[in-house]
Amino acid sequence: MGDEIQFIMDIFLHLDKYLGWLIQEFGVLTYFILFLIIFCETGLVITPLLPGDSLLFAAGTFAAIGELQIVQLMLLLIIAAVAGDAVNYWIGAFLGEKLIRYKQGRLIKKEYLNRTRLFFEKHGGKAIILARFIPIVRTFAPFVAGMAKMSRFRFFLFNITGGVIWVSLFTTTGFFFGNIPAVKRNFSWVIFGIIILSLVPLVWKTLKQAFFPKKAHARSRSHEDRVCSHDHPSTS
């Protein structure tokens, strides 16, 4: 297990080496491999540890030196990101109800689903777009949105917006800055920095819940009460 984790970290921190090898070995098929990685990272809840932000940045750096074509690269990866989220949404929508009904809801509590539905109704657009920039959360957000029955129109609108912004931002950043001599000499540290920065929102939220649990609980109860009143309106 330790060797597997070390291998995954090695891939993350030396994407320039591995991506260069892919391009040399597979040529034009590299586009398909990158498409598949981004699609799986965003579309399958069982593959949240695949590289995302760092892979886009690294691909942009290789496009800058002519190893990849930036326009084709961006278009393919935007399609992969949007399609991955869409598939994940439908998996959540399809499996969610089955999981809720399984053994009378022992796997998923109705209160959790209500809170999730309220969260996506209140922060739907922002949640789907911002989740693109948070590893692991990016993989689970569309699945939960599907489970919570978030409006399909709203989801796909924000899915496309988030996918375009996410892919464009990291690939163009790699394209324009990835081959600066200082960046090339410290490529592993740059990738490590990207990973750390992408985890900041998740860490911040965790710390808030740890140090201000009463406030978080009060807000959660308030949201739950609003959902319950929505599900059971007064008949008077």
Residue with tokens 């990738």: 191
Give the pLDDT of residue 122. Answer: 66
Q: Which has the closest alpha carbon to 32: 96, 78, 95, 76?
A: 76
pLDDT score at 235: 36
Confidence label for 156 from pLDDT (cuts 50, 70 and 90)? very high
- What pLDDT is attached to residue 91? 87
Report residue 39 as tokens.
């699609």
What is the amino acid identity at position 102? Y
Q: Which amino acid is at 43?
A: G
Going from N- to C-terminal start, the domains of the chain cover 2-231
Exposed, middle or buried by CB within 10 Å (0-12, 13-18, 19+), for 15?
A: buried
pLDDT: which is higher, 13 or 16 = 16
Q: Tens of pLDDT along 179-232?
A: 788 777 777 677 777 767 766 665 666 566 566 665 554 554 454 444 344 444
First to last CA, the chain: 61
- Residue 106: how many other CB atoms lie within 10 Å: 9
Dihedral in degrees, nearest 10, Cα atoms 142, 147, 151, 153:
40
The pLDDT of residue 77 is above 90: yes
Give residue 85's pLDDT.
95
Contact present, 138 and 131 (Cβ < 8 Å):
yes
